[in-house]
Amino acid sequence: MTNDWTEIQIELPVALLEQGAAIAQMAVPYGFYLEDYSDLTTEAPKIAHIDLIDEELLQKDRTKGILHLYISPEENPAEAVSFLTQRMEEEQLPYILKTTNIREEDWAYGWKKYYHPMRVGQRIVVCPSWEQYDRKDGDVLLKLDPGMAFGTGTHETTRLCLEMLEKYIQPGSKVLDIGCGSGILSICGVLLGAQSALGVDIDKTAVAVALENARLNGVEEKAAYLCGDLAVDVKGSFQVVCANIVADVILRLTPDVKRFLAPGGVYLTSGIIDTREQEVADALQAQNYQILEIHRQNGWCAIAARPNSK
C-alpha cells in the first residue's frame, strides 16, 4: 500500500517565481521544485548538448512557471493551501493554485537520474549514495540523496551557506543549524572538523531524514536533531549558528540568537532573496552585529555576522 501525498501547483509569471518560491518554502520547507521553461531554447543546449528540443517542450508557455509543493499524508494540506493563498494575495501576486494526489515514490525518487556529484566551495563535494566519486586530496565528501527534506546543495541558498561553513568552521567548533531540513549543513559542519552539531526543524519528516543522512555519513555520534519551533528547546552555546530559512523567519529569530552564540561566534544566515538583503542586514546591525561578509548568487544572498564586543 502506497501513501498518497498532496501536490500543490502554483502558476505564476516567470518574473515572480523567486518571490513565490520564498513564500512556498515558508509553507513547506522540503520537497518543492520550480517548473520554468523561460530560457529553454538558450540553456537546454548548453546543458544537454542537443540541437533539437522536443516539440512538446517548445509548446510550453515560457512566460509562466509552476511551483510544485508536496504535503505528506500525515500533514493537513488545507493549512498549507490557506497559508499560501493568504501570502500570495498579501503580496498581490497573480497566481493560479490547484491540488492533486500523487504517490510518494513518483516525486521522491523519480529525479535520481539528474543528480550527480557536485563540488561546492574549495573542498566540499556533495554526492548521492548511488554514485561513485574519486576523492581528491583535501576533499570533504558529503553523501546525500534527494528526497523528502529541503537541502541537497543544488539550491543557491544551501551552496552559499556551505561555502561560508567551509570558511568559519574550526576544529572543535560546535554548530547549531536552525531549520536543518535534510541536515546537510550540520553534517557538513562535522565533516569539516566541528566537534558536534545540533539541527532543529519544525517538521518531523526533516528530522528523520537528517538523522538518516547523519548515519549515511558516519557522523551520527556527533550530530543530533530536535523537532521543534526554531530554537525553543535548544540549550548550550555554539561557535557557529546557521539559519538557512527565509528572510521573515530570520528577522524573527535574530533577536534570540545571541544567547546561543559562544564568545566570538559567527551567525550565518541564508535563504534571503536579494530584495530583502538590506532589511536583514539592517536588522542584524540593529541587534549590534557586525556584518563580516555577504555572498550573492542568482538573486539570493547569505550573510555572515558576529556580535560586536561590548
Best CA proximity match to 179, nearest among 211, 240, 225, 216: 225
Tens of pLDDT, residues 122-167: 888 888 877 777 778 888 888 886 654 455 556 788 889 999 999 9
Element (H, E) at 213: helix 204-216
For 223-251, what is each residue's pLDDT tens digit?
Answer: 999 988 766 778 889 999 999 988 888 99
pLDDT at 44 over 60: no
User: What is the enclosing helix (H) or strand (E) of 268?
Assistant: strand 261-273
Residue type, 106: D
pLDDT, tens only, 195-204: 999 999 887 8
Coil vs helix vs strand at 88: helix
Position of cell 517565481?
17
Strands of the 32-36 sheet, one edge to the other: 32-36, 64-71, 4-13, 96-103
Question: Which grid cell sits at 216?
Answer: 549515511
Q: Name every residue whose Cβ is closer than 8 Å to that of residue 207 and which is 6 or more positions away in sequence.
A: 180, 199, 201, 225, 226, 227
Instruction: Please report the domains of the chain, with CATH numbers, ordered by start residue.
Output: 4-108 (3.30.70.120), 113-307 (3.40.50.150)
Task: Write down the mean pLDDT value for the chain.
Answer: 80
Check if the beta carbon of residue 219 is closer than 8 Å to that of residue 153: no
- Tell me the three cell numbers of residue 185: 549543513
**Residue 271 corresponds to which amino acid?**
G
Mean pLDDT confidence for 205-217: 88
As a whole-number percent, the residues of the chain with pLDDT over 70 amount to 80
Whether the model clears a pTM of 0.75, i.e. scores above it, the answer is no
